[in-house]
Amino acid sequence: MSRTGRRVLEQIRSLGPVAWLRAEREPLLQGVKTTVACVIAWWIAARVLEARMPVLAPIGVLLTISATAYGTVVRGAQQVGAVAVGLAVAAGLIHLIGLNAVSLALLVGGGLVLTRLLNLPNQNVQIPITGLLVFALGAQYSLERLIDLLLGAALGVVANLLVMPPRYVESARRELAGLAGDLASLAADMGRGVRGTWGEKEAQRWLDRSRELAERLDESQDLTEQAAESARLALRKEHRHDERLDQLAEATTCLDHASQQLRAIARSLADLAAGVRGLPAGHTHQVPAALGDELVAISKAFAAFGRLQLGRGSVKDLGRLRTALREGGEHQILLAERVPETDHLELWSLHGAMLDQCAALRHELDPQNGPHQGAFPSWLIPGS
């Protein structure tokens, strides 16, 4: 992570130990819930049901419990359905053709085919596994297997419904803030580089970094979806949680759009330095220094946007964002005036494209007139 990204994360720590621990407790809470559910499942299977293989009940918990209550219910239903199908198929095949290599092959191959036909996740191989266990342990195992799995699935669901499901909103917001910090670092490096001496090597490095950040943004969108899922089926849910979830979703979209514009600028600079697409090689010196100044202003805007995603946000950071956007607009005017005069159509078009990309990027981050007003704390942006 870049220095700017680390500085953004330091802002989280400055929120205080309570907020920091609240953000970090989610994996620990999930582990504790899973462990307790496994122990209870084993105790019920061993002491109450007197099962021959009580360890199957905690295995059922591990197979079904997910990070969120909704995910646990879905996975539980999938596991139970898969085991039921596996039991039926195994019992039928063994009854018809007995225990031999042919029935073994049919149990495995047919189970995998059924998994695909039933549209189960690729990692769910309970149909062939259940068939093999019935093949090895006998028909009596079938009922025990189904009962233990039902017990484990039920306890997994109860654990996630009665204990407040981990709320991944804060973790996702923290990750988003770090990404905004890294985008700020990239924009600053591009800005300082353009104002100095640069070439194909530097431009390619900027482009590679922009692509890496795009991949991380895709992962961040997965975290956002997980945060949204954590709110489904929650028995206790604060209105503030919904507000933060809405802000997170909009902020993720906003940062994704803005990063695409920054990547497009990096792509244009890399093409210019390499002299591809009909562009004249060796014309990096014709890029106006005003572009570097605007990229530095955009860097400040990214950093302020990231800080606004932490905690409740602050008026000071909102002011910094607006100031950075205003500075970028002023540099945009200078940049438009200083675009080099040229009869080379491709070069003229490239400079015009970078002008538009800078303007579009600032528009994405604009808290007042931009398309993502919901990406900012509502108390700072009335009506967002």
| Per-residue pLDDT tens over the stretch 13-59 | 444 454 444 545 556 666 777 788 888 888 888 888 777 777 777 77
3-state secondary structure of 189: helix
3-state secondary structure of 265: helix
Other beta carbons less than 10 A from residue 69's beta carbon = 27
C-alpha span between 265 and 261 (Å, rounded): 6
Q: Average per-residue pLDDT in the chain?
A: 78
pLDDT at 8: 47
What percentage of the chain carries pLDDT values higher than 90? 28
Amino acid at 356: D
C-alpha span between 153 and 328 (Å, rounded): 55
Amino acid at 187: A
Q: How confident is the model at residue 228 (pLDDT cuts 50, 70, 90)?
A: low
45, 56 contact by CB (below 8 A): yes
Q: Residue 29 to residues 35, 157, 164, 181, 328: CA-CA distances in angstroms?
A: 10, 15, 9, 28, 44
pLDDT at 161: 65
- Two structure tokens written together for 159: 């654990």
Encode pLDDT of 292-333 as tens digits: 999 999 999 999 999 999 888 889 999 999 999 999 999 999
CATH architecture group of domain 167-375: Up-down Bundle (1.20)
pLDDT at 61: 74
| Ramachandran angles phi, psi of 298, nearest 5° | -65, -35
C-alpha span between 256 and 179 (Å, rounded): 10
Q: How confident is the model at residue 124 (pLDDT cuts 50, 70, 90)?
A: low
pLDDT at 20: 45
Give every CB contact of residue 21 below 8 A, 6+ residues apart in sequence. none
C-alpha span between 143 and 161 (Å, rounded): 27
Encode pLDDT of 328-376 as tens digits: 999 999 888 877 666 677 777 888 889 999 999 999 999 999 999 999 9
